[in-house]
Amino acid sequence: MTKDFQRNSAVNAAANVKVHHVQLEDIQQFTPEKINHFRRGGIREGAGRTQAEMQQLLEKIPPSQRAGVDGQSSASKVKEYLSDKDASHIEPHSKGGSSHPSNIKWEEKSANRARGDLPMTQKERVGLEIKAQFDNLTGALKAGASAAPKGAAIGAITTIPFSLLKNSLRVIRGEISAQGAAIETAQDTAIGGGVGAVSAFTVTTIAVACPPVAIGLTAISPALLAVGGVGMVYEFFKILDNHKTQVKSYYESLTQDQLKYLANVENDLTYEHDKTITLLAKAKETSAKIISRPREAGVEGALKRYVDSLQIHASLSALPYTSKPIQNSEQSLLPPNNEQ
């Protein structure tokens, strides 16, 4: 699998990650029964909190516990997180503690009510901070794991058409068999899916745990989609250009081989032609000698003519009548199959 395949899978998977951290309007719209957790949580009497204070209290929930793919899912996460939580005072209300978010921590109901009107100890405050960080981490990892299958699907879908094109052209060029192409495509698709899964898991985990990253991701998502699209177009033309280059190189080599073969054939034909001309000249000379031989009378003249005829026959038999065979071309008209 090429680095271009992997980059496209990673970028497309990241571009399709959706992370939304809940806002007060999401709570009001999708889980209105929970809005009082922020308006009057921990307040026994008097006016409720302002919108700004409600937002501050909302942001005291670990980021991953108030993140989803949209307003509805993120509001549902908040509802689930607050199902067993109280808005607990650090400095008790009975001892003059404020209900401002700076004096509030989200805490399990049982622990808050067991403390009564006692101040929250330093150990308890540190414990709640550690618990919030742990909840944030586990929630982020869970969100990343949930996003990984979608990322794997996007990575595979991004990879398979280009791998199929690349390996189909390799079959046409004779580099691999159809079975080998199927195996290569399956391997590329699996790797592309893995890259997409890792990309989606990593980006989602970080964005869910860190709201500024999620905001930045939302802002650059259109650019990532554009980069992914351009990368896929680039990969398509790169595959075709590579195929064109290889085929051109092969047929240029084929042309040179054929020219060399034709030159050899021409040399052989010239050799045969020259030899035939030579033989014809000698045959003409011999024919002239036979015709112009003097004829002597009597038995002695006949024997001499007979001996001359035997010598002429012997000289004709010694002439090189065999022809040089012309070699056949072993050059195929299709690219060679390198399959072992």
pLDDT tens per residue, range 119-176:
999 999 999 999 999 999 999 999 999 999 999 999 999 999 988 888 898 898 888 8
Residue type, 330: E
Contact by Cβ (8 Å): 22, 58: yes
Residue 259 vs residue 19, higher pLDDT: 19
Q: What angle do CA 274, 277, 280 make, to 5 degrees?
A: 150
Contact by Cβ (8 Å): 98, 91: yes
DSSP 33-81: GGHHHHHSTT--SS----HHHHHHHHTTS-GGGGEESSHHHHHHHHHHH
Here the tokens at position 328 are 């056949």
Residue 259 vs residue 55, higher pLDDT: 55
**Is this structure's pTM higher than 0.85?**
no
Q: What integer best gives the mean pLDDT of the chain?
A: 84
In sequence order, which residues have a C-beta less than 8 Å from that of residue 125 and are 6 or more positions away? 90, 105
E strands in 103-262: 104-108
Contact by Cβ (8 Å): 197, 152: yes
Cα–Cα distance for residue pair 103/99, rounded to 1 Å: 6
Residue-level pLDDT at 52 = 94
With 80 as the cut, is the pLDDT of residue 259 above it?
no
Name the residue among 106, 61, 109 with its Cα closest to residue 84: 109
Give per-residue burial for 221-259: e unless 16+ CB within 10 Å, then b: eeebeebbeebbeebeeebeeebeeeeeeeeeebeeeee
For residue 293, what pLDDT band results from cuts at 50, 70 and 90?
low
Helix (H, G, I), strand (E, B) or coil at 302: helix
With 60 as the cut, is the pLDDT of residue 193 above it?
yes
Residue-level pLDDT at 332 = 44
Here the tokens at position 209 are 């745990």
Cα–Cα distance for residue pair 179/174, rounded to 1 Å: 12
Contact by Cβ (8 Å): 296, 288: no
Residue-level pLDDT at 334 = 45
Cα–Cα distance for residue pair 86/305, rounded to 1 Å: 141
Instruction: Read off the pLDDT of residues 69-78 as tens digits, 9 standing for 90 and up.
Output: 999 999 999 9
pLDDT, mean of residues 103-109: 94
Q: Is the dihedral of CA 217, 218, 223, 225 positive or negative?
A: positive
Residue 6 vs residue 294, higher pLDDT: 6
Cα–Cα distance for residue pair 162/182, rounded to 1 Å: 13
With 70 as the cut, is the pLDDT of residue 103 above it?
yes
